[in-house]
Structure 1
Amino acid sequence: MKPMCFGTGLRVCVGLVASVLAWPSFAGGLTLDEALRLADNTAPALAAQNASVQAASSAAIPAGELPDPKLVLGVQNFPVGGPDRGSLDRDFMTMQMVGIRQDMPNSEKRKARIEVADAAVDTAIAQRRVARLNVRQATALAWINSYSVERKDALFKDFYSENRLFIDAVRAAIAGGRAQPSDAVTPKQEAALLAEQQDELQQQRAQAHAALKRWIGPAGNDTPLGRLPEWPVEGGMYTHNVQHHPQLAAFEPMTREAQAKLHEAEAQKHPDWSWELDYQHRGQQFGDMVSVQFSWDLPIFPGRRQNPVIVARQADLDQLDAEREDMTREHTRQLDNDLADFQRLNRAVQRGQDSLIPLAQEKVALSMASYRAGKGDLNALVTARRELIQARLKQVDVEEQRAAVNARLYFAYGEGAHDI
């Protein structure tokens, strides 16, 4: 009996697990947090930026190293005339030489190259932060759009149900002699218009899923779960955080990199040098020899060589300063616009909830009552119903727009301004 009980219990457990997995909230649902997690882990744009950071880090390793030494091989004073011509060992001046040469860039240049490489790593890290901000923001906006499409689609169940009540009211009015037989066509026309609007929603759903899959892959086809995000909007804090926006923060390592390149250009005015050690082999009747020599660069024409490069690197630095100021002003403008837009949308959402939708519902109820009593016009009832449908759909649109602005503000000046 015990094995049978165990088998029965196992089948019950398996059935429960299958039921849980089949439930939409667990199997086919996608929360915003899950979408953001998937974007962080799977977005190709972030994988590309991770590779960029790795490349910059690897390139920084040899930045301050000396150049590879050079092997020197040769023959000196090889006779091409006279009785010893063509011989390597009869003339005492003929030597077979092997040596090593090492170039020694000046210390300022090597220091500047290290600074350039380190700044390049920090620039790559900063650009990764910008990319992550863009990916997370785009993912949130795509999820919000997908969620809103599903909300609209759910409303159509109510719309069709209300349309059936409309059909019953028209039939009752016709049967009671309070309406014309042609009125029976109107509810069917309204149902066809609803179906047409729902077809447009199907297209919007496909587009929303495509936008979400752009960032998180196949999971973008899952039905959004949860509710629209409501991050706190603090205008003062966001204004303070403008300077910490990842796009603006990226200018700091970019500026250091440009400054290091300027230092490297200035270091070109300081001479590099090199040393060479040679062993020279002669004929057996002569002694071998060793030579040591040093050489220095002579930057004696800076006006045509080093100075123009210095001017170019300084111009690069000035360009970055101007671009940062321009982007700061643009972000300030965008922040002010978004804050104003958020306040407008906040009022619009509240107005829809408090007055527009309740008034549209009241108008439909009054028009329906009048029509049933034989005192109202069918066109007035149809117009009232359409206004209610549009008010409810518009409410979803307004709430979506508010959530989208909320997301842009939060990711750019809330989360994005700290530890993205």
Structure 2
Amino acid sequence: MPYWLAAPLWAGWIAGATAAPLGFDDALTRALHETPALAASASRIAAARQNAIPAGALPDPQLTLGLANVPVDGADRFSLDSDPMTMRIIGVMQAFPNAAKRGARASAARGRVGLAEAGMQVVRQTVLQQTAQAWIQRHSAEAQLRHIAALYDENRLFDAAVRARLAGGGGMASDVVLPREEAALIAEREDLLNARRAQAIAALRRWIGDAADWPLAGAPPKWPIDHARLAHRLEQHPELALYSQESRVLDAEIDAARAATRPDWSLGLVYQQRASQFGNMASIELGFDLPVFASTRQRPLIAARVAERAALDADYQAQLRAHTAELDADLAEYRRLDRALARQHEVLLPLAQEKVSLTLAAWRGGQGNLAELIAARRARIDAQLKAIELAGARDEMAARLHFTYAQPDDSGVQP
């Protein structure tokens, strides 16, 4: 292979030759530790947990200060010591929301913690799935590029054979062009695969940073893809699990809205200081809310929360159907790719190789023409690259199915 053709393929690999190899599980583990999206989710969980601490607590007490019965006219106006009724007041007031309201607020806060945790699982699933698919895309592209490198060597030998035959008086002068045309087509395929490899590295860099440029090691795992097993876990999909936590929050908000129809109460203690010649006094106060306009205040809020809950239930059913359809479609595509890959290896590749062997034997025996041989070789190249492409596409679909529908702790990767 000419250096100017080989350089785009190997330059990136040589640059990363001193880096540690990047295995499949290594990429997933690194993504879970380095992705900013997961750090953001962890901060949201921490915030929700902090918000849950005071959710069910009583409100802060109020300190009251004031003056009472201060004369505003006459000889003693604005005097604080002349009138026995004038008092300096200091007091404390504590509100006591009803227990149902406080319990509902605490329950809603705990639900928001669960919602933040469920949101983190959605992010985690996305990170694992897209990292896995990007790694497999790069692995597939590099496998095809290695095959391209071998094709260059084979093409060079083929070109030498054509020239030798022409030198011996066989074939036509135009035959010398055909191997070079084949080399150009191989170079075109190489450019396409180099672009796919660069795109896969870019996608991988989003999740693991500069480690995306490291050389790959190993192969993607083989996950068991079973319809019944995946369908059984469908309702545990992270996006569907969000609805369970959202419903918990809405149920608590419904309880809080209903609790608002019950009166809250407050207790106040007041110390009243009078002039030194008069005795001081103390008071106690009780206050009660009067939710007497529930039909225009509390009940509309209850109805609104109940309607939101019904909408959430309908959204859940819609999402469940969407994910069920998506799972069935992905499984159908996985089965198609699996059958196509088996057909490629068992039928099409052997036939392509057999056709090359037959046309090559005919050409060497002087009974075939070079164009037929070139066409057969091109078909074999297509079949070989197609087999690698199908294997990569099947592994990508397997990763999508596994990381979308498997349990978070069934992924084989620990955060």
Same fold, TM-score > 0.5, yes or no: yes
d(CA) in 1 for partners of 2:170, 2:17: 48
Taking the TM superposition and a 5 Å limit, the aligned residue runs for 1:340-379 are 340-379=332-371
Give CA-to-partner distance per residue, 1:333-372, whole Å, 9 cap, x none: 1111111111111111111111111111111222222222
Deviation readout 1:136-190 (Å, 9 max, x if unpaired): 1111001100101110110012211221122022113312333222221221222
CA RMSD of aligned residues (A): 1.9
Q: State the AA in 1 paired with 2:329.
A: N
In the TM superposition, what are the counterparts of 1:135-284 in structure 2 within 5 Å? 135-284=127-276
Tell me by how many angstroms 1:277 deviates: 0.8
Which of 297, 303, 307 lines up with 2:295 in the alignment?
Answer: 303
* Partners of 2:226 and 2:17 in 1: CA distance: 33
Structure 1 residue 112 corresponds to structure 2 residue 104: yes
Secondary structure at the counterpart of residue 225 of structure 1: coil
For residues 121 and 202 of structure 2, the distance between their equivalents in structure 1, rounded to whole angstroms, comes to 25
Q: 2:34 aligns with which of 39, 42, 51?
A: 42
Gaps of 5+ in 2: 1-13
Q: Structure 1 pair 397/388, CA: closer, same or farther in 2 (3 Å)?
A: same
Amino acid in the other structure paired with 1:205: R
In 2, distance between residues paired with 1:332 and 1:193? Answer: 43
Q: Secondary structure at the match of 1:250?
A: helix
1:304-347 CA-partner distances (Å, limit 9, x unpaired): 11111111111111111111111111111111111111111111
Tell me which residue corresponds to 1:7. none
For 1:397 and 1:229, locate their aligned partners in 2 and report how far apart those are by CA, in whole Å.
Answer: 17
Q: Distance in 1 between matches of 2:200 and 2:75?
A: 92
* CA displacement at 1:27 relative to structure 2: 4.2
Alignment partners' CA distance in 1, 2:310 and 2:192: 51
Give 3-state SS (helix, strand or coil) of 1:100's partner. Answer: strand
- Kept in 1, the 8 Å contact 2:65–2:90? The answer is yes
Deviation at 1:418, TM superposition (A): 5.7
Contact 2:254 2:305 in 1 (8 A): yes
Q: Give 3-state SS (helix, strand or coil) of 2:343's partner.
A: helix
Q: Give the direction of change, closer, same or farther, for the CA distance of 1:225–1:112 in structure 2 (3 Å limit).
A: same
**Match in the other structure for 2:113:** 121
Matched residues in 2 for 1:76 and 1:355: separation? 102
Mapped partners of 1:417, 1:258: distance in 2 = 28
Are positions 1:286 and 2:286 aligned together? no
Contact 1:109 1:267 (C-alpha < 8 Å) held by counterparts: yes
Shift, 1:125, TM fit? 1.2
Are 1:246 and 1:417, in contact at CA under 8 Å, matched by a contact in 2?
no
Please state whether the residue corresponding to 1:156 is helix, strand or coil.
helix
Partner of 1:72: 64
Query: Match for 2:251: what amino acid?
Result: Q
Aligned residues: 399
Alpha-carbon displacement from aligned partner over 1:3-55 (angstroms, at most 9, x marks no partner):
xxxxxxxxxxxxxxxxxxx9x99944111111111112111111111111111
More displaced 10-residue stretch of structure 1: 221-230 or 408-417: 408-417
SS at match of 1:322: helix
Return the TM-score normalized by structure 1.
0.91
Paired residues of 1:244 and 1:418 also in contact (CA < 8 A): no
Q: Deviations over 1:65-98 (max 9, x none)?
A: 1111111011112221222211111122211111
Give % identity: 45
Are the equivalent residues in 1 in contact too, given 2:273–2:280 (CA < 8 A)?
A: yes
Is the partner of 2:233 in helix, strand or coil? Answer: helix
Distance in 1 separating the partners of 2:195 and 2:229: 39
1:412 equivalent among 391, 404, 407: 404
Alpha-carbon distance between aligned partners in 1 of 2:334 and 2:37, rounded to the nearest angstrom: 29
Equivalents in 2 of 1:155, 1:415: separation in Å? 37
One-letter identity of the residue aligned with 1:323: D
Q: Which letter does structure 2 place at the counterpart of 1:157?
A: A
**In 2: Cα distance, 1:104 partner to 1:383 partner:** 88
Corresponding residue of 1:19? none
Alpha-carbon distance in structure 2 between the residues aligned to 1:359 and 1:223:
34
CA distance in 1, matches of 2:160, 2:410: 59
Structure 2: how far apart are the matches of 1:295 and 1:415?
53
**1:165/1:362 Cα in 2 relative to 1: closer, same or farther (>3 Å)?**
farther
Q: Could you state the TM-score of these two structures normalised by the residue count of structure 2?
A: 0.92
Q: Distance in 1 between matches of 2:387 and 2:272?
A: 92
Correspondence for 1:5:
none
Match of 1:88 among 80, 92, 113: 80
CA separation in 2, counterparts of 1:129 and 1:371? Answer: 62
Partner of 2:9: none
Distance change (3 Å), C-alpha of 1:418 and 1:29: closer
Runs of 5+ in structure 1 lacking a partner? 1-21
CA contact (8 A) 1:274 1:295 kept: yes
